[in-house]
Copies of this chain bind each other. A is one copy, B any other.
Amino acid sequence: MTTKDEFKQAPHKLLVIPGPIEVADEVLFANAHPSMSHVSPDFIPVFGDCVRMTREVLYTKTAQPFLISGSGTLGWDQVAANLVEQGENALVLHSGYFGDSFQDCLETYGAKVTQLKAPIGRAVALSELEKELKSGKKYKIVTVTHVDTSTGVLSNAKEITAVVRRISPETLVVVDAVCSVASEEILFDDWDLDVVLSASQKGLGTPPGLSILVASQRAIDVFKSRKSPPSSYYASWKKWLPIMNAYEAGTAAYFATPPVNLIYAYHAALKLIVRGEKTLEERFKLHKEASRQVKEAAKRLGLKQLPETDDEAANGMTALYFPEGLTAGDILPRLGKRDVVVAGGLHAAIKDKYFRIGHMGVSVVDGQRGDVNTIVRALEEALKEARTKSA
């Protein structure tokens, strides 16, 4: 048999896209756990621990995690099908591609959506939000993309929530944190959030396939007092709430088979994050330092960031315009040749004009890997080569 200490993943190109990210050996090993019954006494506490540790990552004592087999996108369905009823108003703060998708999802389930759209590279101004909330329209939810993976723009979830609480205290604040949980600080209880939705494959350093959503008790109360039943079956909290409660209480309940191996992997990843050598606070600091290092190197190399201001730039990823005269074809293959995998553009309006680098999880927390230096060096070399070639 192969033991945890023995297992080492194969050498491979450094994966520094904004998710999936590099996954630690012990997390991959856990994903290869022998097959287990989803109701076995060995598995139940592992699932329960995942629920509890998810709370710790978000600094919440009382909010309710939902861990469901699915991609991050399923979190939108959970919000749209459980918290909004037919014809109710939703306000979407748009800072990139994912604002449009979230709107699409909300409308699928009957929400009336208003969008506040920031210019590319900016987050929605608090003053715009304030004006809209004072317009007289009653919003059931406000959604914000904490880090929009398409632009690398970081929205100020704390201040946004404060504005909502001041002007429209009953409106639920929903944070799409797919690309920010565990790479950006999120103080769920202190900020008074209602929903944080995420996925396993970014800051949480687990393979993709787990929709991770945390709901405040206020959100759960709103859900429980719905007039109509939830408008999704698979994403229904009516189905999942008893399951999450059962596993946390140390018993099993069945709605749909949980992704057992992935739960073992998530458990291993959470242990590294909340029980590891470094505190959560230290981890956030390391993400900031890695981000600064990449962004300063980019600046030195003459690359312009997509986010227009430093305080609206994510700490877990960097989006950079290609320099004048160079394209994706000049840069990305040259990074690939140096075994560094980054991502192209995603925002439709500027898709071919920029690229994205992820710096989350083990790549920034485990300094011995030297991943951030590898990124910077590869970027320097690739740019130099591309400029020589095109000169």
Contact = CB atoms under 8 A, between A and B. Distances in A.
A12 to B, nearest CB: 4
A151 interface: no
B8 A22 contact: no
Q: List the 4 closest pairs (A to B, CB-CB), nearest first.
A: A209-B259, A73-B256, A71-B256, A32-B32
Nearest to A232: B232
Contacts of A9: 1-2, 32-34
Given A108-B231, A108-B236, A32 B29 contact: yes
B80 A260 contact: no
A233 interface: yes
A83 interface: no
B1 A259 contact: no
A40 interface: yes
Contacts of A257: 19-20, 71-73, 199, 201, 208
Given A69-B208, A207-B259, 10 more contacts: A7-B32, A15-B37, A17-B37, A23-B35, A38-B208, A69-B71, A72-B256, A108-B231, A109-B233, A209-B262
30 contacts: A1-B9, A1-B10, A1-B11, A2-B7, A2-B8, A2-B10, A9-B34, A10-B34, A12-B34, A15-B37, A20-B36, A20-B38, A23-B34, A23-B35, A28-B34, A29-B32, A40-B341, A69-B69, A69-B208, A71-B257, A73-B234, A73-B256, A108-B231, A208-B261, A209-B259, A209-B261, A209-B262, A232-B232, A234-B234, A254-B346
Interface residues of A, number: 67
B35 A108 contact: no
Contacts of A201: 35, 257, 260
B207 A260 contact: yes
Contacts of A108: 229-233, 236
